[in-house]
Structure 1
Amino acid sequence: MALESLPNPSLNLAQICKLDISNNHLQTIPESLTARLLNLIALDVHSNQIKALPNSIGCLSKLKILNVSGNFLVSLPKSIQHCRSLEELNANFNKLIRLPDSIGFELTNLRKLSVNSNKLISLPVSITHLTSLRVLDARLNCLMILPEDLENLINLEILNVSQNFQYLSALPSSIGLLMNLIELDVSYNKITSLPESIGCMRRLRKLSVEGNPLVSPPIEVMEQSLQVVREYLTQKMNGGSPKSPIKKKSWGFGKLVKYGTFNGGSRSWNREESEGFIMPEYRSIDSLASPRYSGMFSPRRLFSPRTYFSR
């Protein structure tokens, strides 16, 4: 509706459970508005021009879903930690340079945290206290380091810290203790060596490492199945001298599949390929979402309230 400000409604705001004011021209959200939305479960303000969230957002004790993506936020208010029912926080496509230091201490129900396409240099240490977290998406930032004690994220299944380009050069060894992790994407960083502890990740089904200057494991190992990579890292962790497997002749097609040239729809995949880090369903849109192509990814296109509130 191209709203630049919110009207003062006559209805009882305490009756509202879901509020969608996305895709407008709003620059602020009144403190008095959020303070009266006492029964709000889902708040969607994506694709506006908001520079700061009101401190009164901490009054939303029943809030489960918060979408503030596609705005101009530089930081999130510390009071957001009081939204203890929060399960999903989407703050993609903002200008965040930091997250509240204490964000992980109180949000014990948070299951999904998406902060991709921002300017984050690091993630707060308290994030390792998010024991209910299933998905952490921090790609396309300026991350230089990840917190230690990642093993505390006992329910984490998907971790994406790809496309931090020239900033992220190493992974903590604790990343291999994420025993429930299914997908790990560290592609397009500056990582030269994978932690040997990754060999312990038995539930891992997808490992994306392309676009890194990897030295260990060597390329002839990384071009094999995920199982081969795990065995190599396990042998190295146990103090052995792992031998690089003989590289199978691929006649050039393996490289094309790896970079998503084919969608894999016309052939059947064997078990080694389907369980390896070279996946037929690899989506090349991640590699396109770099600063060079950022104009193609307008938040107004990417975030749809129809799908967001589908539940």
Structure 2
Amino acid sequence: MHHLQQLHHHHHQPPMMMKKRERNKGMEKERLQVMDLSGMALDSLPKPSLDLATISKLNLSNNNLQEIPESLTARLLNVEVLDVGSNQLKSLPNSIGCLSKLKVLNVSANFIQFLPKTIENCRALEELNANFNKLSKLPDTVGFELINLKKLSVNSNKLVFLPSSTSHLTSLKVLDARLNCLRELPEDLENLVNLETLNVSQNFHYLETLPYSIGLLLSLLELDLSYNNIKTLPHSIGCLKNLKKLSVEGNPLVCPSMEVVEQGLHVVMEYLHHKMNSSDQRPTKKRWWMMKMVKCGTFDKQGRGGKRGEGYNMLKHQNINGLASPGFMGMLSPLRFFSSPRNSFS
């Protein structure tokens, strides 16, 4: 009884104590600093004049830094945004794994060949921009750990494949892997239930096929496959009922033919959907995919998702683009989040 009374007393603190606690929280938030050292031609970092644990946003972009000291990142305990883009970095410190509150990391326009495995400890990370580096691979298990990642931008690198764990990034909304050397995409994409934008354009002669599971990306709005070596689109794409933009220019397409493509997105979708029903693929495999698609709600026998014809009415005002529009390219540009380094933390 005495123990219960203690608990009861704890949950009904006097108003004065509650106000004091709220005031302390407010003061703690105010003490967090924004530090902008961008564009200062720094070859090395000056000795900080303040406690690194008080920094919430640190901008070191557009300098000449060749390394980030291990001791520096290890002490950035409250940093949420870290921008080291446009430097001369060849690697990142292992202590980056200490940044448990990090939400946005920009390492674009450097010479980084690999990301340290410890980056998997940054479990609060929501945006990772590693465009314009020399990455040949990503950490194998990265998808199992960065469960809060919403945007992954790795364009303009030397990636030959994405790790299979990528398919476990269930919060991911944008995946930009254009301008690499991708030979294939992970087979099991169906877990990317929140993915809205997938850009794997300009992998040129390397990328020849796409996994059938691409038809299970329930939230997909924009799919850019332009300038690859794809001859046949998976018929499952016809079941992407929310798709509003499909870019396929620069591929040696046979199925669907360019004559079909030129008639617009709704015609392409109807063509692929029809192909799904009359496909010659092995019955066992076809039945397996059909079961998956019905289960996920992307496919039913009456039409392209939902009531008969509903999908096509919705698609009448949509079109297919051979190349993504300037607006779309701008959205995926590495400059989108860090276009003005001096103002990016304002």
TM-score by length of 1: 0.82
Select which of 51, 58, 72 maps to 1:12. Answer: 51
Q: Quick check: 1:131 aligned with 2:170? A: yes
Classify 1:307/1:276 alpha carbon distance in 2 versus 1 (closer, same or farther; 3 Å): farther
Give structure 2 stretches of 5+ with no counterpart: 1-39, 281-313
Aligned alpha-carbon RMSD (Å): 2.2
Once the 2 structures are TM-superposed, how far is the Cα of residue 284 of structure 1 from its aligned partner? 9.5
Classify 1:229/1:83 alpha carbon distance in 2 versus 1 (closer, same or farther; 3 Å): same
**Secondary structure in 2 matching 1:184:** strand
Q: Quick check: 1:188 aligned with 2:227? A: yes
Identity of aligned pairs, percent? 66
**Secondary structure in 1 matching 2:58:** strand
Verify the 8 A CA contact 1:206 1:279 in the aligned structure 2: no
Verify the 8 A CA contact 2:247 2:324 in the aligned structure 1: no
Classify 1:197/1:298 alpha carbon distance in 2 versus 1 (closer, same or farther; 3 Å): closer
The residue aligned with 2:326 is 283
The residue aligned with 2:213 is 174
The residue aligned with 1:200 is 239
The residue aligned with 1:289 is none
Verify the 8 A CA contact 2:248 2:321 in the aligned structure 1: no
Q: Quick check: 1:114 aligned with 2:153? A: yes
Classify 1:280/1:298 alpha carbon distance in 2 versus 1 (closer, same or farther; 3 Å): closer
Give structure 1 stretches of 5+ with no counterpart: 242-270, 287-296
Distance (Å, rounded) in 2 between the aligned partners of 1:82 and 1:298: 24
Deviations 1:34-62 (A, max 9, x none): 00000000000000000000000000000
Verify the 8 A CA contact 2:227 2:251 in the aligned structure 1: yes
Distance (Å, rounded) in 2 between the aligned partners of 1:65 and 1:143: 25
Once the 2 structures are TM-superposed, how far is the Cα of residue 304 of structure 1 from its aligned partner? 2.5
Post-superposition, which runs of at least 4 consecutive aligned residues in structure 1 deviate over 2 A?
271-274, 278-281, 283-286, 306-310
Verify the 8 A CA contact 2:41 2:63 in the aligned structure 1: yes
- Letter aligned with residue 125 of structure 1: S
The residue aligned with 2:26 is none
The residue aligned with 1:90 is 129
Distance (Å, rounded) in 1 between the aligned partners of 2:343 and 2:196: 22
Once the 2 structures are TM-superposed, how far is the Cα of residue 285 of structure 1 from its aligned partner? 9.7
Give the number of the structure whose alpha-carbon radius of gyration is greater: 2
Once the 2 structures are TM-superposed, how far is the Cα of residue 11 of structure 1 from its aligned partner? 1.2
Distance (Å, rounded) in 2 between the aligned partners of 1:280 and 1:5: 42
The residue aligned with 1:45 is 84
The residue aligned with 1:221 is 260
More helix by share: 2
TM-score by length of 2: 0.74
The residue aligned with 1:309 is 345
Deviations 1:120-162 (A, max 9, x none): 0000001111000000000000000100111110100000000
Deviations 1:176-227 (A, max 9, x none): 1101100000000000000000010000000000000000011211111211
The residue aligned with 2:249 is 210
